Amino acid sequence: MFEKILDLTTQIKQQGPLVLNITNYVTMDFVANGLLSIGASPVMSHEPEEIQDLIAIASVVVINPGTLDENFVHLCEAACKAANQLNKPLILDPVGVGASSYRTAVSKKLISDYQIAIIRGNASEIMALAGLPLTTKGVDSNAGTAHAVASAKALAAQGSTVLISGAVDVVVNAEHEQGFSRGSAMMPMITGTGCLLSAVVAAFHAVQADAFAAASAAALFYSVCGENAAAQSSGPGSFKTKFLDSLYATPEASHYAKN
C-alpha cells in the first residue's frame, strides 16, 4: 500500500487537482493551506451564482456544513445537485452532526437526496448520521468505534464509502472494511484536522477513482504526516506549523512501516 500512496501523492503534485470547498468559515484558511501543501489547488465559494461554473472546472467537491445557516444549506444543495449532474465526486463532512438537530437534519437530507462518494466524520458524527442509538458519554473508545462501524455500514449500504476518523481510522464500503491505528494525539488539539482530512481525501479521490482505495490511502497518509509533525513539535501551535510542513514533504516509505 505504501508504494500506492507515494504514487498518489506524486500524482496530486503533478496534476494539482482543483478541489472546490463549500465549507465552514472557521477552518477555511487551514483547509486551503493543507490542500496547497500537498499540491492540490483549493477554491472556496459561498455564491450560488458561480457554483455551476466552479464545479465545471473542479475535479472534486467537498461539502462541509460546519458553520451552516439557511443560505449555506441552499448552497450545499445546489452544489450537490450540480456535482451529481456533472459527475464530479462529492465528499461530505457532516461536521457537528448530533450537536444540534438542525445540523443532523441537513446532513441526513444531503445523503438522502444526492449521491455522495465519500463521507468522512468522527465516530459520533457517523453514528448520529446513521441514526442508530447513540451513547455519547462514558463510552470507551473501542465500543465507540464498534458502534460507529455498524453505523458506517448502514450508510455504506446506500452506496457511499465512509471514513470514520479518530485514534483508529476505519474505512467502510458495502463490501470492505479496513482500519488503521496511526496518527498522533496532537491531531485533535488543533481545529480543522477533520475538515482538512476530508479535503485531502477529496484530493486523493481526484487521482484515484476507487473511493475506498482513495479514502484508505488518504487516511493513512494523513495519520503518518501527523506522527511526523508531532515528533517535531512542542504543543498545538508548533504542531500545526509542522503538520503543514509534513504534508508538503510527504512521508518517506519507511515512515509507513509501523515502529
Residues that bind a copy of itself (CB under 8 A): 24-30, 32-33, 36-37, 42-50, 53-54, 57, 66-71, 96, 99-103, 188-192, 233-238, 240-249
Q: How far is the CB of 78 from a copy of itself (least distance, A)?
A: 12
Q: How far is the CB of 104 from a copy of itself (least distance, A)?
A: 10
In the complex with a copy of itself, which residue's Cβ is closer, 51 or 149?
51
CA distance 171 to 189: 23
Find the helix or strand (DSSP H, E) in which 7 lies.
helix 2-15
C-alpha distances in Å from residue 48, one per residue of 4, 76, 77, 94: 37, 9, 10, 20
In the complex with a copy of itself, which residue's Cβ is closer, 130 or 247?
247
CA distance 116 to 119: 7
Residue with cell 499540491: 39
In the complex with a copy of itself, which residue's Cβ is closer, 10 or 71?
71
Q: How far is the CB of 228 from a copy of itself (least distance, A)?
A: 11
In the complex with a copy of itself, which residue's Cβ is closer, 133 or 235?
235
Q: How far is the CB of 87 from a copy of itself (least distance, A)?
A: 19
Percent composition of the chain: helix, strand, coil (DSSP 3-state, to 5): 55, 15, 30
Q: CA neighbours within 13 Å on the CB side: how many for 69?
A: 3
